[in-house]
Amino acid sequence: MNPFVAALLVIGTVVLMELGAYALHRWVMHGWGWGWHKSHHEDHDHVFEKNDLYALVFAGISIGLFALGTWVPLLTWIALGVTIYGALYFVFHDGLVHQRWLFKKPPRKGYLKRLYQAHRLHHAVDGKEGAVSFGFLYAPPVDVLKKDLSERRSALRDDTGDAQPPSRNLH
């Protein structure tokens, strides 16, 4: 395969993975898949959480695509894009944002700070409702997320008549 086409397939897959991860995170993980994802929104002191099962599912998909790439070489490049996305997720989401390994301090400037703040805002609500910022590598501007979070909290309060849901420490 032409190296330029292969590179486009890999990069395109990484971009599509972020779009797919946004949708999966918003409508599956915070929907019918909350049973696994809930562990990610709870404090714990163990290495693994039930939410890590999602990583195993995507690893299985990537392995399957690599295996199918034996017969359809195009799928090998797509599998590589899925794998690269998984590695980026592991470094930036688990390592940087949640400090499960590697990073020990939050970033203080630039895009990494914005990514960190955006995901902390995602965790600012208890439960699956009212969260913002569902992407893993793309972070909307923090001021936009704060406004959205405030509006979602107001909407939840209006829907239930209850007081505003408690917020978590945002660091």
Residue with tokens 């007081």: 163
The per-residue pLDDT for 103 is 81
Residues of the chain with pLDDT under 70: 160-171
The per-residue pLDDT for 129 is 92
- CA dihedral (134, 139, 142, 144) in degrees, to 10, reads -70
CA distance 140 to 92: 16
The per-residue pLDDT for 51 is 95
The per-residue pLDDT for 102 is 73
- On whether the CB atoms of residues 79 and 65 are closer than 8 A, the answer is yes
- On whether the CB atoms of residues 142 and 121 are closer than 8 A, the answer is yes
- Residue 40 burial (CB count, 10 A): 18
Q: Which two tokens stand for residue 85?
A: 């996305």
The per-residue pLDDT for 72 is 97
CA distance 80 to 75: 8
Domain range annotation of the chain: 3-160
The per-residue pLDDT for 160 is 63
